Structure 1
Amino acid sequence: MENQSQSSNSLGLGDTGARVKELHRMLQTMDFYVEGEIETFSEHTRGAITRFQEQRGLITSGQCDQITWDVLVENSYVLGDRLLYLRRPMLRGEDIAELQRSLGALGFNPGKVDGIFGPDTQNAVELFQRNSGLVVDAIFGPNCMVAIKRLGERVEQGSVAVVQEKERIITKVKSEAMPTIVIGHLGGFSPIADGFAKKLRELHMNIDVINHYDESEHADICNKNNIDLYIGIFPPVENENSISFYSAKGFTSPGGSHFTELFKQYFLTKTGEPIETLGNSEKILRETRMPAVVLRFSSTKELITHSQTIFEVLKDSVLSWFSEPFV
């Protein structure tokens, strides 16, 4: 008989059974090896889950909640295991990220390497098929797999998507049009977000605020409206100040990375305190198609107390980023 946590969608210390065995199998396919009984959630399991959560930018609880389970399932696929195509909800997984890295290295722009088979990846597959003399159906299957292997391993060259992100930002700067920025939060930070937005509008910037509990809703709104920069103000994951940008195997957002470095420099200058910069693939950073960053402060009290200083840092970072987006 299986013993499982109170929530049927969560696995934790002491749980046993087939789902725990499957959890261990998925962890081991990604080189997170667990010692001991394979059908028991042990301290070794909790350690492996914590390391996986840290790597993927998830909340590091050490428990396998539904979000962690879903990400594990997505990342257990190997390219060639299944047909890849555009559908709703969109397919996700490490096999798609591998496809995106390969297409980008070959000059077919799949957009951000986010492990999501979206319109950009569909277009890249179609273009690859057309250039390879294959049937153009936008479905990555066995014939595409053979063709991409035949062209050899060129993923170390880097993705064309990195170059194109830089070009989009530089084009915006040269147009001299004011940027369109979204400040997003998941609820509870309305006074802070609205205050930042009001002050940035006084500098004649185009600013919108999104207050919604679902990060995917933030990403969907931003993607549909061609936003130039997303700035999230989220609750802390750990007791520290940090600013995150998108980074995953084969792709680091140049725009997001540079913004976090600017913010770090200005924050240190104005406060005398460091702020940690993190590259990860948490949900909002993975699903947005524009450069995006997420700010986290150790407590809401600290965020409110230092809101004026944080605004000054944010203002200087935005102005520097859009006047000289890359150094």
Structure 2
Amino acid sequence: MPLFRLGDHGSAVAEIRAILAGQGFLTDAPLPTGRLVDPNGWALPEAVFDVATDQAVRAFQQQRGLLVDGVVGPATFGALRESSYRLGARVLCYLTSAPMHGDDVATLQSRLQNLGFYTGLVDGHFDVDTHNALRNYQGDYGLNPDGICGPATLRSLKQLGTRVTGGSPHAIREEEHVRRRGPQLSGKRIVIDPGSGGDHPDADPAESAIEAEILWDLSDRLVGRMTAAGMETFVSRREDENPTDEERAGTANAIGADLLIALRCAHYPNSRASGVASFHYGTTHGSSSTIGRSLSGFIQREIVARTDLRDCRSHERTWEILRRSQMPAVQLDIGYISNLHDATQLSDPAVRDTIAEAILVAVKRLYLLGRDDQPTGTYTFAELLASEQVAR
């Protein structure tokens, strides 16, 4: 889809403004009248992407865990559409050809989770797990177990309180899975997802080519170290491919990976922006990946301790690569390719070696669960290999 930003106008901009107004981000905004152009050919105010709309879009992006750039691209437009749905406004069901997404689905998932039927992430995607949870609820409460959330199911849900409090079933399941897998890295299935470069508006082709080369090389170094430690490693794409984030997550899901680590470079129009940041799944619905958060924090601290890249910390986001992955996932922005210092650092093979080692050590720390751990930045690749050899 096209990108919409400050200065644009048209029917899509009118829809964007209407949703933002409905969400309370755009106050005193006239709603579309059906006639978006006056007799003189000028776009009416409700169809113009003005400064107020730009600010409202940025506030919406901030709240929803999206990239805050004021540009309405596929991710932001999809999130706007999803935010406009309220539970009860439409019948919900599992459709394999056109899956349903929206805040109404997230509300349904949250209700089913509180009642003890749904144990997945509250992500607003009506998938097969949501379908099965809804059928189980309907069967237990004397409803037709058809997996369709219509008027009868909605009335039933409104009449019930919560049965489960004081913890997320999904978080408990994630943590138990890590505990059962044990502290050794041998046999762990990891998908590495190197970015393809140029995945942002107004990307410079030369800069994108350098970025793609850096990320592919870092992926190779990380795969080599993980394989040496006995891990089963997979790369999400071929070097000449550029799949969507949804497709990358689908590859990891098909493999049945234990973890997904996405490698990216950051960009910003102001070249002074610099540093490394890590991201895990988390929403305004209160749903997040606890293991993703832990791994994100470990990676962030290990890289900062071993390099002179600025610490931009770890954050919750709803990006598709994190949202669609069925296993704990982390996206790592290893530095700003638009910043001279970061770009110079990332172009150094020794720095990429250090980053790869830091990521591997962070994964090891995740599975150690605090047992026999070492201070951040001190555990070496040689020591890690030696511990793995002894365990075997």
1:269 positional shift = 2.5
Separation in structure 2 between the aligned mates of residue 279 and residue 292 of structure 1, nearest angstrom: 11
Distance of 2:50 and 2:28 partners within structure 1: 9
The structure that has the greater radius of gyration is: 2
After superposition, residues 127-276 of structure 1 pair within 5 angstroms as 127-152=136-161, 157-173=166-182, 178-187=187-196, 188=212, 189-211=215-237, 212-238=242-268, 239-240=273-274, 241-248=276-283, 249-271=285-307, 273-276=310-313
Structure 1 residue 93: Cα displacement: 0.8
Instruction: Give TM-score scaled by structure 1 length.
Output: 0.89
Contact 1:111-1:161 within 8 A present in 2 as well = yes
Indicate the residue corresponding to 2:2 in structure 1.
9
Superposed displacement of residue 70, structure 1: 2.2
1:309 and 2:354 matched: yes
Distance 1:158 1:202 in 2: 37
The residue number in structure 1 matching 2:366 is 321
Is contact 2:292-2:329 (8 Å) kept? Answer: yes
Amino acid at match of 1:11: F
Deviates more, 1:163-172 or 1:56-65: 56-65
Which of 114, 128, 143 is the aligned partner of 1:105? 114
Does residue 298 in structure 1 map to residue 336 in structure 2? yes
2:315 to 274, 278, 281: 278
Return 5+ residue gaps in structure 1 as ranges. Answer: 1-7
In structure 1, what is the equivalent of residue 203 of structure 2?
A: none
Distance 1:153 1:107, change over 3 A: closer
Cα deviations by residue, 1:13-64 (Å, 9 ceiling, x for unpaired): 2334443332222113333124564333210100111222233343333122
How many Å separate the matches in 2 of 1:128 and 1:290?
25
Instruction: Identify the residue that residue 5 of structure 1 maps to in structure 2.
Output: none
Return the alpha-carbon distance in structure 2 between the equivalents of residues 154 and 303 of structure 1: 50
Q: Indicate conservation of the 8 Å contact 1:21/1:39, yes or no.
A: yes
The two structures, once aligned, show a CA RMSD in angstroms of 2.4
Are the structure 2 counterparts of residues 32 and 153 from structure 1 closer, same or farther at C-alpha, using a change threshold of 3 Å?
farther
Partner amino acid for 2:99? M
Q: Which moved more, 1:52-61 or 1:229-238?
A: 52-61
8 Å CA contact 2:278, 2:313 repeated in 1: yes
Identity %: 28
**Residue correspondences, number:** 320
Gaps in structure 2 of 5+ consecutive residues: 30-44, 197-211, 338-342, 374-392
Counterparts of 1:270 and 1:82, CA distance in 2: 52
Q: Return the offset for 1:96.
A: 0.8
Would the alpha carbon gap of residues 77 and 325 (structure 1) be closer, same or farther in structure 2, given more than 3 Å must change? farther
Query: How far apart are residue 275 of structure 1 and its match?
Result: 3.8
Q: CA deviation at 1:177?
A: 5.7
Q: Distance in 2 between matches of 1:154 and 1:75?
A: 27
Shift of 1:154: 6.9
Match in the other structure for 2:340 = none
Distance 1:159-1:145 versus aligned 2 partners, 3 A rule: farther
AA at the equivalent of 1:207: T
- TM-superposed deviation, 1:121: 0.9
2:98 matches 1:89: yes
Report the Cα offset of residue 155 of structure 1: 8.3
**Which position in structure 2 is the counterpart of 1:78?**
86
Q: Secondary structure at the match of 1:208?
A: strand
